[in-house]
């Protein structure tokens, strides 16, 4: 399974450039696979970021919020900004 996943991820990796307006250019194959249409969400992950289809991100966020498994989230009670 790991080999199959590695081949899929690395085999489909492409360089992404920027256009004259500073927009990130993703390949059509990647956009179709990820269901990326008009509205996207950029999610920071410390030293990297993820690009999500807005509807997929909202659904995943609802799933996390509704889940009974809150492992580790109790630490957030003492967090202040």
Whole-number pLDDT of residue 68: 76
- In angstroms, the CA 7 to CA 11 distance is 5
Question: For position 70, what pLDDT does the model report?
Answer: 64
Tell me, what's the pLDDT at 38? 82
pLDDT digits (tens, 9 = 90+) for 34-46: 888 888 888 998 8
Give all domains of the chain, ordered by start, each with its CATH number.
Answer: 2-70 (3.40.1550.20)
pTM of the model: 0.60
Q: Measuring CA to CA, how many Å separate 4 from each of 9, 11, 34, 63? A: 9, 10, 18, 28
Residue 52, exposed/middle/buried by CB under 10 A (0-12, 13-18, 19+)?
A: buried
* pLDDT over 80 at 77, yes or no: no
pLDDT higher than 90, residue 21: yes
The answer, yes or no, to whether residue 72 has pLDDT greater than 70, is no
């Amino acid at each position: 399974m790991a080999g199959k996943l590695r081949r899929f991820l690395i085999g489909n990796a492409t360089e992404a450039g920027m256009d004259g307006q500073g927009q990130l250019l993703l390949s059509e194959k990647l956009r179709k696979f990820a269901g990326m249409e008009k509205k996207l969400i950029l999610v920071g992950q410390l030293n990297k970021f993820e690009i999500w289809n807005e509807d997929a991100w909202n659904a995943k966020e609802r799933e996390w919020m509704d889940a009974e498994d809150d492992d580790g989230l109790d630490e957030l009670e003492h967090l202040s900004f």
